[in-house]
Amino acid sequence: MTLTDVIEVLEAAYPPARAESWDAVGLVSGDPAQQVRRVLFAVDPVAAVAEEALDCGADLIVTHHPLYLRGTTSVAATTPKGRLVHTLIKNDIALYTAHTNADVANPGVSDALARAVGLAGDLVPLRPFPDDPWRGLGRVGELPEKTTLGEFARRAADGLPRTSWGIRVAGDLSRPVLRVAVSGGAGDSLLGTAAAAGVDVFLTADLRHHPASEFVESGGPALIDAAHWATEWPWLDSAASILRESGVTVETRVSATVTDAWTRGY
């Protein structure tokens, strides 16, 4: 299989045209004609992931987060990103990114997150595209049965990969929970939409004190704040299975390296 063959499958599932205008998705490094035998899926394009690719003999790394989001004038090995580019090119490892186009896809990042924290049945976008109600940011769905916020939080923590931080809850732990909204990654901008969606709890990452405090004070849904990396990690297997089921004969592997920014909690 060539890199072009693999990219074709990824772009059918995650059309680059659906990415936000500020985003940088697609091929970062690599020759479209090069052969791909093994693909490593990871959240972050960082040195530890490049090492993992070297160790497992991957020819392609597919990451959720872009390497360069803003313009750059140098890829010299004098910065961590430049060094990463050198490692990749010297070892014939291609890098490909599906970011906001994977967030809004169906199935996308938040579908995988919803399943990981125990939502069952149909999922609908929290903020659907006006021209496509089945695609968009976040997901809303229901638990198999009504539970409490405390019990759901425990289940969510168990369903997500371990990080130093785990999850944080804002709200009355005995509050009944059935309808849940989730958004992988930083879901700050969806707080108002979640409040209007009539859900019992909104689970996302990177929430800040003031918006979270005001949200809970206003009597809206409870909040669960998980580690950014952990909310997006469940998508990796979903993306890998799209490749496996497409008929392209490549081996897939999901990175087990925890690349969340926070490495220790006290």
45 belongs to the binding site for Zn ion (CB under 5 A): no
# residues contacting Zn ion (CB under 5 A)? 1
x/- contact string, 111-130, with Zn ion (CB under 5 A)? --------------------
136 binds Zn ion (CB under 5 A): no
Candidates 33-41, 180-188, 195-203, 240-248; binding stretch for Zn ion (CB under 5 A): 180-188
- Name the residue among 187, 185, 189 with its Cα closest to residue 261: 185
Pick from 72, 50, 60: which is nearest to 27 by CA?
60
Q: State in angstroms the smallest separation of the CB of 232 from Zn ion.
A: 5
Cβ of residue 65: shortest distance to Zn ion, in angstroms? 6
* Nearest partner of 142 among 189, 102, 191, 182, judged by Cα: 182
Residue 33 CB, shortest distance to Zn ion, in Å, is 31
Determine the residue with CB nearest Zn ion.
185
Which residues line the annotated binding site?
A: 64-65, 103, 228, 232
Phi, psi values for residue 66, rounded to 5°: -65, 155
Of residues 205 and 250, the one with the C-beta less far from Zn ion: 205
Among 41, 34, 52, CA closest to 14: 41
Judged by beta carbon, residue 115 or residue 228, the one nearer Zn ion is 228
74: Cβ contacts below 8 Å, ≥ 6 apart: 82
Residue (44 or 200) nearer to Zn ion, CB:
44
Q: Establish if 185 lies at the interface with Zn ion (CB under 5 A).
A: yes
233 phi-psi bin (left φ>0, alpha ψ -120 to 50, beta other): alpha
- In this structure, what are the phi and psi dihedrals at residue 29, rounded to the nearest 5 degrees? -145, 155
Residue 37: which H helix or E strand, with range?
A: none
Task: Round to whole Å and give the CA distance between 184 and 205.
Answer: 7
CB of 147 to Zn ion, least distance (A): 27
Q: Which stretch binds Zn ion (CB under 5 A): 54-62, 138-146, 184-192, 258-266?
A: 184-192
Q: Output 185 or 220, the one with its CB closest to Zn ion.
A: 185
Residues within the annotated binding site for a divalent metal cation? Answer: 64-65, 103, 228, 232
Cβ closest to Zn ion, residue 125 vs residue 171: 125
What residues contact 179, with CB distance under 8 A and at least 6 apart?
Answer: 140, 141, 142, 198, 199, 200
What is d(CA 202, CA 88) in angstroms, rounded to the nearest whole number?
38
Residue 118 in 3-state DSSP?
coil
Nearer to Zn ion by C-beta: 29 or 110? 110
The stretch among 114-122, 173-181, 183-191, 207-215 that binds Zn ion (CB under 5 A) is 183-191
Structure tokens at 101: 């186009």
Give the nearest distance from C-beta 64 to Zn ion in angstroms.
6
Q: Does 108 bind Zn ion (CB under 5 A)?
A: no
Q: Could you list the residues that contact Zn ion (CB under 5 A)?
A: 185
